Amino acid sequence: MTHTLSQNLSGSGPDLSYRPFLRRNIGSGVLSLIAAIFAVIAVLPLVLVLGYVIVQGGSKISLALLTQLPPPPGLEDGGIANAIVGTLVVTAIAGLIAIPVGVGGGVFLAEYSRSGWFAQFIRFGTNVLAGVPSIIAGVFIYGTIVTSRILFGNAYSAVAGGMALAVLMLPTVIKTTDEGLKLVPDDLRRAALGVGASRFVTIIRITLPAAFTPIATGVVLAVARAAGETAPLIFTALFSPFWSDLLTPEGIFSPIATLSVMIYNFAIEPYEFHNELAWAASFVLVVMILALNLFSRWLARFAAK
């Protein structure tokens, strides 16, 4: 001990410079390299999938493709227009159900009962529901809505598909509303209540608007995820090679085509043109979903400013 101390004091201390070829430094460098390789492998699938979707699908996009109906098997003339409309319709139905219910539930959790047993139970239930596989949402709606023909005697329908997607969207919307409202400072609530506003007015006029951006970000992400879901739609919304008559109620109470189910159906068919339509549908779907994702990112950044 005294030896090293005197050594340091005399100015001829140990060499403290970084020695890259020390065994442990080489080991650290090798591990960094492995981590870098893992990161490259993790990014690779996105590049490859996007690349193929753009090359195989993007190259087939034409006005005819975006405005015509899919052809019968074997024929080579047509498009994916009804599926584009169908995806928008089914996702809109899901949003109309899941967003009000989810925001309402989130308001309850964040504004009325932060730590009551019921709120804890609902939070737990939300997490559990978020982990339910998407195919189970389809089985559930099939078992309750489709087989019972409860929707005015209709079995498979756009509404049933939208309900299945709503089951999947609900946990995300509740969670983002809950978390978004929790970020609103309590001072705002107290100020509103202090000047005599009721709970209802405080929530509607003060806290919900203050939490608008985080809620909107989460909702947009939930919509994007729902738009790409296939499994809940296969035996609820089914598929249709025709236009849905959306001007009458019949349209949303009958089977409807969606991009995701179209990709599934056409990918496993042996007809080449149908396979090509599946790629084109993938391109349209991926563009829609990535656009929504980037939009939600922009929303979040917009809020941060």
Q: Which residues from 16-35 bind other proteins, rule CB under 8 A?
A: 24-25, 27-28, 31-32, 34-35
Residues 33-72 that bind other proteins (CB under 8 A): 34-36, 38-39, 41-43, 45-50, 52-53, 56
Q: Can you tell me the distance from the alpha carbon of 204 to that of 192, in angstroms, rounded to the nearest whole number?
A: 11
Segment interacting with other proteins, rule: CB under 8 A, options 6-14, 66-74, 127-135, 184-192: 127-135
Per 3-state DSSP, the chain is made up of helix, strand and coil in percentages (nearest 5) of 70, 0, 25
Find the binding residues for other proteins in span 139-158 (CB under 8 A). 139-140, 142-144
CB of 261 to other proteins, least distance (A): 8
Is residue 280 part of the contact set for other proteins (CB under 8 A)? no
Among 126, 154, 157, 207, interactor with other proteins by CB under 8 A: 126
Give CA–CA dist 111/207, Å, rounded: 9
Pick 246 or 300: Cβ nearer other proteins: 300
Under rule CB under 8 A, residue 206 binds other proteins: no
Is the Cβ of residue 36 or residue 191 nearer to other proteins in the bound state? 36
Binding range to other proteins, per CB under 8 A, among 180-188, 206-214, 233-241, 247-255? 233-241
CA distances from 264 to 212, 229, 234, 254 (A): 36, 11, 9, 20
User: CA angle, corner 49, sides to 45 and 55, nearest 5?
Assistant: 145
With CB under 8 A as the contact rule, the residue among 220, 222, 224, 277 that binds other proteins is: 224
User: Cα–Cα–Cα angle for 102, 176, 285, nearest 5°?
Assistant: 85
- Within the chain, how many helices (H) and strands (E) appear? 13, 0
Task: Please give the Cα distance from 236 to 91 (Å, whole number).
Answer: 13
- 135 lies in the site for other proteins, by CB under 8 A: yes
What's the token pair of residue 242?
């025709």
Among 73, 125, 209, 249, binds other proteins (CB under 8 A): 125
Which residue in 234, 237, 252, 256 binds other proteins (CB under 8 A)?
A: 234
Closest CA to 219 of 129, 109, 46, 98: 98
Instruction: Confirm if 243 and 69 have CB atoms less than 8 A apart.
Output: yes
Which tokens sit at 225?
């995820």
Q: List the one residue from 88, 92, 136, 210 that touches other proteins (CB under 8 A).
A: 136
Question: What mask of x and - would describe binding to other proteins in positions 164 to 193, judged by CB under 8 A?
Answer: ---x--xx--x-------------------
CB of 248 to other proteins, least distance (A): 26
Among 69, 293, 295, 300, binds other proteins (CB under 8 A): 293
Of 6-14, 103-111, 210-218, 248-256, which part binds other proteins (CB under 8 A)? 103-111
Touching other proteins, residues 245-274 (CB under 8 A): 260, 263-264, 267-268
**Contact between 84 and other proteins per CB under 8 A:** no
Query: Among 145, 155, 166, 167, which residue's Cα sits nearest to residue 255?
Result: 155
Give Rg (Cα) of the chain.
27
CB 106 within 8 Å of CB 92: no
Q: Can you tell me the distance from the alpha carbon of 67 to that of 248, in angstroms, rounded to the nearest whole number?
A: 21
